[in-house]
Amino acid sequence: MYDSGKIIPGLIIFVLFITFPIWYNHGDAGAVPQPELPKNVKECVLPITEMRSDHMQLLNEWRDEVLRTGDRSFDVKIGDKMYQKSLMNTCMQCHTSKKKFCDKCHTYASVKPYCWDCHLAPVE
Amino acid sequence: MDKKRRDFLKIAGVTTLAGLGGTTVVDRLVSGSSPVQARAAQEVDPAEHGAGEQTAASGHGEEVVKSGKRLGMVVDLRKFRKHPELLEKVKHVCHAEHNVPDFPNKKDVVKWIWPTGFENAFPEHSSYHLDEDSEDNKVPVFCNHCDSPPCVKACPTRATFKNKDGIVAMDYHRCIGCRFCMAACPYGMRSFNWRDPRAGLDMNNINRRFPTRMRGVVEKCNFCAERVGLGEQPKCVEVCGETKAMIFGNLNDPKSEIRKVLKENFTIQRKPSAGTHPSVFYIV
């Protein structure tokens, strides 16, 4: 190989450069987000682990049932009370702060759900 | 191999004839009937279809028992003439309930229900000299929630659709803002959000139980689907209250109040010739 003295160090520098984010953070994912949970309520619609992983699917199902199927019944059970399927009128009544709840994880995971383009976040 | 042009043309001709004729012979053998019979059988369907359309077209008081709901409204213009302040009130209350923005620029205007002149609302009703009552008074217009809605046919994403109650509803999550529905609606009852609607709203004084829209979607009256679904009356009907200027109910239920009103009064629809079968009726 011609110019191996330049090419090999060049390649090494290149690889180091593009893997910079990996070795600079050396496997540290940063501080885990701590969304603020409602204080006076202990239960949610589903167990907390399921809510963590599947709340987006749940919201989509609610949306389709309410809007397209027209099923607006109060069939969501939280504790011993029944609620309607609604982001604004059910979820955000307990989770009263979008900034301290939704945004905490969404910012960390760099996801930008378009819910709030139309739906109204609680006043804070 | 020695092939002459004459032979080639003969073979090609026979093969083409066999190809064209063969399929019809095979078709006839498969269906087991002559072409005449087959045509006769086909003609039964359109005849039935046409009869169905005719019964649907006669929207006024015909005893056609239909399954399912078809929500509709009767607007009594006599009552609106008696209570002239009601029209603006209805518009204001509807727009406040549904967070409809208020833009001064005519090109940006978004509206769900509004007053318009008689001749604009009913362009097909020609008159040499319009009577004074119709001339001087405005007519409230809003989505007709048609039984055969052309907007629903035009929508490429099914963002606008007919729900189980017969309401022509909008799913703003799906709307891509192509405005085909606006072109399809013969009544011009749809508005496009050219600008961010929140810029035209007083965000401190807004109905927090109903969402706003976003820029780039089409919106219109939803017959208060969110209230009707919970067993309430539409907001405009509630505001009219005891004046009974607006009557709401199921057009497919022969015992409903709206059917009684339709039976007792002469009503007109907007642009009946468009063939959309509007569910909103006007008592002039």
Q: What is the pLDDT of residues A3-49, one digit of tens each?
A: 999 999 999 999 999 998 888 887 777 788 999 999 888 889 999 99
Asked whether residue B18 is domain-assigned, the answer is no
Are the CB atoms for B167 and B228 separated by under 8 Å? yes
Task: List the end-to-end C-alpha distance of chain A, in Å, as a whole number.
Answer: 66
List the beta bridge partners of residue A82.
A77
Domain that holds residue B138: 69-283
Chain A interface test: which of B157, B165, B170, B173 (most A C-beta within 10 Å): B173
**Mutate which of A90, A120, A123 to test chain B, going by most B C-beta atoms within 10 A?**
A120
pLDDT of residue B161: 96
In a domain, B148, yes or no: yes
Predicted confidence (pLDDT) at residue A63 exceeds the cutoff of 70:
yes
CATH number at residue B111: 3.30.70.20
C-beta of residue B154 within 8 angstroms of C-beta of residue B164: no
pLDDT (tens digit, 0 to 9) for every residue of chain B, 284 residues total?
Answer: 677 899 999 999 999 999 888 777 777 777 765 545 444 444 444 434 434 444 444 444 444 455 689 999 999 999 999 999 999 999 999 999 999 999 999 999 999 999 999 999 999 988 888 888 888 999 999 999 999 999 999 999 999 999 999 999 999 999 999 999 999 999 999 999 999 999 999 999 999 999 999 999 999 999 999 999 999 999 999 999 999 999 999 999 999 999 999 999 999 999 999 999 999 999 99
Residues in A closer than 8 angstroms to B161, CB to CB, are 68
Residues of chain B in contact with residue A66, where contact means CB-CB under 8 angstroms, are 229
For residue B127, being part of any structural domain is answered with: yes
- Work out how many domains chain B is built from and give that number: 1
**B168, closest residue in chain A (CA to CA):** A68
Q: Would B63 be classed as within a structural domain?
A: no
Pairwise CA distance, residues A102 & B13, whole Å: 75
E strand intervals along A1-124: 76-78, 81-83
Asked whether residue B46 is domain-assigned, the answer is: no
| Helical H segments across chain B, by residue range | 5-31, 35-57, 77-82, 86-97, 118-121, 132-136, 150-154, 180-184, 225-228, 235-240, 257-264
> CB B208 to CB A88 under 8 A?
yes
Q: How far apart are CA B99 and CA B220, in angstroms?
A: 12
pTM: 0.77
Residues linked to residue B246 through DSSP beta bridges, in sequence order: B75
pLDDT at B224: 96
Query: For chain B, how many residues are written?
Result: 284
- Judge if ipTM > 0.85: no
The sign one gets for the Cα dihedral B128, B129, B134, B136 is: positive
3-class SS of residue B141: strand
* pLDDT value for B42: 45
When CB atoms are compared, the residue of A66, A70, A118 closest to B164 is A70
Q: How do residues A88-121 score in pLDDT, each as one tens digit?
A: 999 999 999 999 999 999 999 999 999 999 999 9
Whether B184 maps to a domain, the answer reads yes
How many Cβ atoms sit within 10 Å of the Cβ of residue A35?
15
B101 touches B199 (CB < 8 A): yes
In the DSSP assignment, the letter for residue B242 is G
Q: Which residues of A touch B213 (CB under 8 A)?
A: 118
Task: Tell me whether residues B163 and A70 touch, CB distance under 8 A.
Answer: yes
Q: Is B41 part of any domain? A: no
Binary contact (B163, A68; C-beta < 8 A): yes
| Residue among A68, A117, A120 minimizing CB distance to B208 | A120
Is B245 part of a structural domain of the chain? yes
Q: How far apart are CA B207 and CA B37, in angstroms?
A: 64
Q: B280: Cβ–Cβ under 8 A, 6 or more apart, which residues?
A: B72, B73, B74, B75, B142, B143, B144, B145, B269, B270
Q: What phi and psi, each to the nearest 5 degrees, are found at residue B219?
A: -135, 160
pLDDT higher than 50, residue A74: yes
Shortest CA gap B172–chain A (Å): 9
